[in-house]
Amino acid sequence: MFDLIGMNASETLFARAQQLIPGGVNSPVRAFRSVGGTPFFTQRAQGAHLTTADDVDLIDFVCTWGPAIHGHNDPDVRAAIARALENGTSFGTPNPYEVDMAELIVELVPSVEKVRMCNSGTEATMSAIRLARGYTGRDKIIKFAGCYHGHVDSLLVKAGSGALTLGNPDSAGIPASFAAETIVLDYNDADALRRTFAAQGAEIAAIIVEPYPANCGLILPDPGYLELLRELCTQNDSVLIFDEVMTGFRVAAGGVQALVGITPDLTALGKIIGGGLPVGAFGGRAAIMDHLAPLGPVYQAGTLSGNPLAMAAGIAALKKLKATQPYDRLEKMGRTLRDALLGAAKSKGLPLQVPQVGSMYALFFSEQPVRNYGDATASQTAHFNQLFKYALDHGVYLPPSAYETCFISTAHEGADIEQAAEILAAGIRAI
């Protein structure tokens, strides 16, 4: 696989990949379509750094789209995988790791009394929606424009992430009758939410929301907005689903729900809980979770669900978070970057917003704070694209889209964060 390392290796690999894999990538967000250029191929990753197939070293703020909170190739996670590997790769029966993982999730995530493991964030949100519908006997769901909950049919409506980046927020291939069950509202629009529940409350199975939307840049809730979601769901017997695939274990060990003290009925998880291996989970109130097969009538399954290697990796990652509690350190790094970016923009006279919470941040070249999808898509993505190119040329990898969130790991602490802040600030001044 690595025969080609050296000059123009990424271009050569990409040319081969394009002949065989649609667009040359196995997930559209990896293509550089919106920022331009050829995506690089990675030969190895260590700490805060990626090394490309062309032997270029990059400080990485994608962190494999979120999971690598301890940095890449963390020794504790790697050792746990190696130990588990001694005993086999998949059993198709219950295994002890699943119980340890369930105990950790239930201990750390306030709303979760019972949890079911699956293999991706998409499976987690898809299953949570099905469970909410089965539990309530209702069909309609509310989602918010710009939120992305994986590539679930009924949720690929006004979706963020790659769907928005590539101009397909309403994907082809989804029957109008499926999309008709999805009510799309603007995030942070309290009146629209109240009106919708007043008109259709008895039909609404669930609200699904990224409590901090992180697939349309990063958007933070207005004061009282998440409380309103909780209140309306409780009043109308609808299920409140927090999609914490991005924010779970990242903004706090217990996710946004622990930070803000709001308890959803169900929570979708992924990314960090797999320690870099493929994983997802959904959990919540036992009274709802017990509607799942084999106890109840809502079917959900998976050959590799609770896979021992993924469980071992995830358990190691979660135990390390519990033991090290890195959230204050991550917040400090986030602020260092945010202050450097805002300072550079001010000196250049460029309007810039940098929403940041702990180790998550985004850049919007915009006069106004970004409160929703419309504000995000009105920002100057051309400026972001210029910054992306400058950063990449100078050894810093940002996500290849203005509509993604940047992630920091504990491994960035020290020289990497200082160096990256200088490079990004210089990139802003060069716009």
Where do contacts with ligand HOZ occur on this chain (CB under 6 A)? 27, 29, 65, 148, 161-162, 215, 404
The residue type at 107: E
Closest CA to 356 of 384, 333, 377: 333
Residue with smaller CB distance to ligand HOZ, 161 or 372:
161
The residue type at 184: V
Cα distance between residue 384 and residue 431, in whole Å: 9
Choose the catalytic residue: 114, 143, 271, 320. 271
Cβ atoms within 10 Å of 393's Cβ, excluding its own = 11
Residue with smaller CB distance to ligand HOZ, 138 or 151:
151
Closest CA to 119 of 360, 259, 310, 255: 310
Q: Which residues pair with 407 in a beta bridge?
A: 360
Residue with smaller CB distance to ligand HOZ, 164 or 206:
164
Instruction: Give me the DSSP letters along 63-120.
Output: GGGTT-TT-BT-HHHHHHHHHHHTT-S--SS--HHHHHHHHHHHHHSTT-SEEEEESS
Nearest-approach distance from CB 403 to ligand HOZ, in angstroms: 8
Cα distance between residue 201 and residue 198, in whole Å: 6
For residue 361, indicate whether it is catalytic. no
For residue 57, indicate whether it is catalytic. no
Residue with smaller CB distance to ligand HOZ, 98 or 243:
243
- 3 state SS of 207: strand
Alpha helices in 281-414 (DSSP H): 286-289, 308-324, 327-348, 373-377, 381-393
Residue with smaller CB distance to ligand HOZ, 161 or 247:
161
- The answer to whether 352 and 396 have CB atoms below 8 angstroms apart is no
Q: Phi first, then psi: what are they for 144, rounded to 5°?
A: -115, 140
Residue closest to ligand HOZ, measured at CB: 27
For residue 243, indicate whether it is catalytic. yes
| N- to C-terminal Cα separation, the chain | 38
Nearest-approach distance from CB 30 to ligand HOZ, in angstroms: 7
Cα distance between residue 288 and residue 294, in whole Å: 13
Residue with smaller CB distance to ligand HOZ, 270 or 308:
270
Cα distance between residue 361 and residue 377, in whole Å: 17
Closest CA to 402 of 52, 26, 56, 36: 36
Closest CA to 29 of 215, 195, 141, 161: 161
Choose the catalytic residue: 148, 187, 373, 403. 148
Nearest-approach distance from CB 148 to ligand HOZ, in angstroms: 6
Residue with smaller CB distance to ligand HOZ, 63 or 77:
63
Residue with smaller CB distance to ligand HOZ, 65 or 282:
65
Longest dimension (CA), the chain: 62
Choose the catalytic residue: 243, 265, 375, 416. 243
The residues carrying an active-site annotation are 148, 243, 271
